[in-house]
Chain A
Amino acid sequence: MNEPMHRFKYTKLTKAQIDQKLAAAAAGPKCASDYSDVLAGKSLKIVTDDGPVLNYTFTSKNRLTLKEGSGASVESGYGALVLKPLVVFSHMLPKTEKGYNVILDLKTNLVTVFEVWFCGGKDPGGTVLDDREVQRQIYFGYVDTGKEPPKERHHLTNRLEGKGIHWIQDTGIETLDFYPSVISSNFVELTRHVDDLSYCSPSDYVLINDNLFIYDRTECEFSGIHTMYAMDLFTMEQAGVRLGFNEKDELEYYMYKGTGEVVGQLAYLEPFNDHGKSLSVTSSKAPKQQPGTPQKGERMAYRPARTFRNMTEEEVHQAAEKTTTSFGGREDTPQMMAGNSMPFTDLLVGKEFTLRYDNGGPVYNYRVIDSKKLRWKNEGETQWREEDYRAFEADDQLVFFAHLHSGSRPRKSVKIALDLNNGLTTCITSKMGTPYYGNEVSYNAIFGAAEMKGLEAPKYVRHCFTDELVGHAYSWSYSDSMTSMHLYTTPHSSSWTIFTENQTMGMQWCAPCIYVKLRDGVYIFDLCEEACNGAETCVVINTKIMHDCGFGFSGGARGVNLGLVGAIARLIGKYDVQRFFGPKKRKLIEPKLA
Chain B
Amino acid sequence: MKTQSKKNPKPEVERRSFIRKTGVALSAVVASTVAGVAKPRTDNGDKDQIDRLSRQIAHLQDANAIRSLHHTYEHHLEQGAYEEIVGLFTDDCEVSFNGGLFAGKERGIRRLYVDNLSRTLTGRKTELAAGVQLDPDQQQETIEVASDRLSAKARFPYSIKAGTPLEGESSLIDMARLHGEGLARWREGGVCEAEYVKEGQAWKIKKLEYRAAWHTMQSAEGVPAARFSKTYPDDPVGPDSLV
Contacts and interface: CB of A to CB of B under 8 A. Distances in A.
A533 B178 contact: no
Contact of A481 (B81, B119, B223): B223
Interface string A279-308: 001111100100100000000101010010
B115 to A, nearest CB: 14
A29 interface: no
A336 B171 contact: no
Given A336-B167, A554-B169, A507 B222 contact: no
Interface stretch (B25-33, B128-136, B179-187): B179-187
Given A288-B81, A481-B184, A506-B179, A334 B222 contact: yes
B168 interface: yes
A533 B175 CA distance: 12
Interface stretch (B63-71, B91-99, B143-151, B213-221): B213-221
A127 to B, nearest CB: 11
A480 B168 contact: no
Contacts of B157: none
A501 B181 contact: yes
Given A288-B81, A300-B178, A482 B222 contact: no
B24 to A, nearest CB: 16
Contact of A283 (B119, B169, B178): B178
A282 B180 CA distance: 8
B35 interface: no
B177 interface: yes
A239 interface: no
A97 interface: no
Nearest to A506: B179
Nearest to A340: B220
B13 interface: no
B237 interface: no
B172 A480 contact: no
A271 to B, nearest CB: 13
Given A304-B174, A535-B170, A481 B179 contact: no
Contacts of A556: 169
A535 B183 CA distance: 21
Task: Give the bracket for the number of chain B residues in contact with chain A.
Answer: 20 to 34
A337 B174 CA distance: 14
Interface string A332-352: 001111111000000000000
Contacts of B171: 304, 496, 509, 529, 532-533, 535
A11 interface: no
Given A288-B80, A481-B166, A481-B184, A335 B222 contact: yes
A420 to B, nearest CB: 29
Contacts of A506: 175, 179, 181
Q: Which of B171, B177, B181, B223 is most buried by chain A, counting CB atoms within 10 A of its CB?
A: B171
A2 to B, nearest CB: 26
Nearest to A307: B174
Interface string B161-203: 0000011111111111111110111000000000000000000
A104 B223 CA distance: 50
A498 interface: yes
B219 A498 contact: no
A171 interface: no
A371 interface: no
Given A496-B172, A533-B171, A334 B177 contact: no
Interface string A483-525: 0100000000000101111000011110000000000000000
A479 interface: yes
B236 interface: no
Contacts of B36: none
A156 to B, nearest CB: 15
A499 B211 CA distance: 32
Contacts of B181: 498-501, 506
A199 to B, nearest CB: 15
Contacts of B170: 336-337, 533, 535
A479 B178 contact: no
Nearest to A561: B169
B23 interface: no
7 contacts: A307-B174, A339-B220, A480-B218, A481-B220, A498-B175, A508-B175, A535-B171
Interface of A: 281-285, 288, 291, 300, 302, 304, 307, 334-340, 478-482, 484, 496, 498-501, 506-509, 529, 532-533, 535, 554, 556, 558
Interface of B: 79-81, 119, 166-181, 183-185, 218-224
